[in-house]
Amino acid sequence: MALFQVPGSVFPDSEFIGQFIDELKDKVYSAPEDARIAVDGSLLPEKTGKELDQEKMEDALYNFFYKGTPSKISIPLKPVYPRVDSELLDHIRAMLIGRYTTFFNAGNTERAHNIRLATEALNSKVVFPGETFSFNKEIGKRTVAKGYVKAPIIVRGELSEGIGGGICQVSSTLFNAADHAGMSIVQRYSHTKKVTYVPSGRDATVSWYGPDFKFKNPYSQPIFIRAKSLGGMMSVSIYSAAAIDFRPRSIPGAPALLPEEMPIKMIEEKPGA
């Protein structure tokens, strides 16, 4: 911790102390967890996180330096509160303001698996008044480490195979639910090829390094997103406080009967494919 600037004098090395505090900050940080609604509808309470109290830690280090005697320093921590607690979540799930349901082939296990993972990541998200929701930011990168698998996707108008295939059905279902609830659509792109799970022009394609789906909450109350996937159906519902003055839009329903899907392997094995 010592910096010898001139012979015979000793000063604290502020750069070293700053680096030490930055390293300590990363090691002790514990992220808070928002309150959530479980699959069975029960309310899961929030969890408070913790972080380094940098000012107190810096004071403790300088006091130790100038005292010049061995001492034990307890790392000072302060709480990090979640954005959404149980009271708020209970308050904003009172009124259903938008909903949309789409269907998929549950027999396509890889695609169904990806849809389930993305749906779980979307469930219980809260968007505050004036806040913009980004699908890519909130769901995160779709990787093998997170459990996503290869499944059919559309690339430049052609059927292909990639990690996270099927995710666009989740973003498209969210788009229609958000539109139904009167959200302000900030950014949306359609696929280059027509999809079968929503009416023409009602899809929202997403890609981690490409297009995103974004909407803004125009109301004076927060909104709460409830998403679930069961069998060959996924649904997104949007709730808010009972006092919300919302302006729903009329939107077309999704087709319940989908064309038969052919797995990638069968396509590759088919003569002339």
Supply 79's token pair. 């709480």
Helix (H, G, I), strand (E, B) or coil at 135: helix
CA–CA gap between residue 181 and residue 247 (Å, rounded): 7
Tell me whether strands 49-52 and 158-163 are parallel, antiparallel or unpaired: unpaired
Is there a contact between 238 and 96 (Cβ–Cβ < 8 Å)? yes
Q: What angle do CA 226, 231, 235 make, to 5 degrees?
A: 25
Residue partners of 208: CB distance under 8 A and separation at least 6: 136, 141, 142
Helix boundaries (H) for the chain: 14-28, 54-67, 86-91, 109-122, 135-139, 167-180, 264-269
What is the residue whose two structure tokens read 């010049």? 68
- pTM, two decimal places: 0.80
Helix (H, G, I), strand (E, B) or coil at 147: coil
CA-based nearest residue to 234, from 160, 85, 123? 123
- pLDDT of the chain, 273 residues: tens digit per residue: 555 555 555 677 788 888 889 999 999 999 999 998 887 778 899 999 999 999 999 998 888 888 777 888 899 999 999 999 999 998 999 999 999 999 998 888 888 999 999 999 999 999 999 999 999 999 999 988 999 988 876 655 555 557 767 899 999 999 999 999 999 999 999 988 888 899 999 999 998 888 999 999 999 999 999 999 998 999 999 999 999 999 999 999 988 766 655 444 444 444 444
Return the DSSP state at 33.
Answer: B
CA–CA gap between residue 149 and residue 143 (Å, rounded): 8
Tell me whether strands 43-44 and 49-52 are parallel, antiparallel or unpaired: unpaired
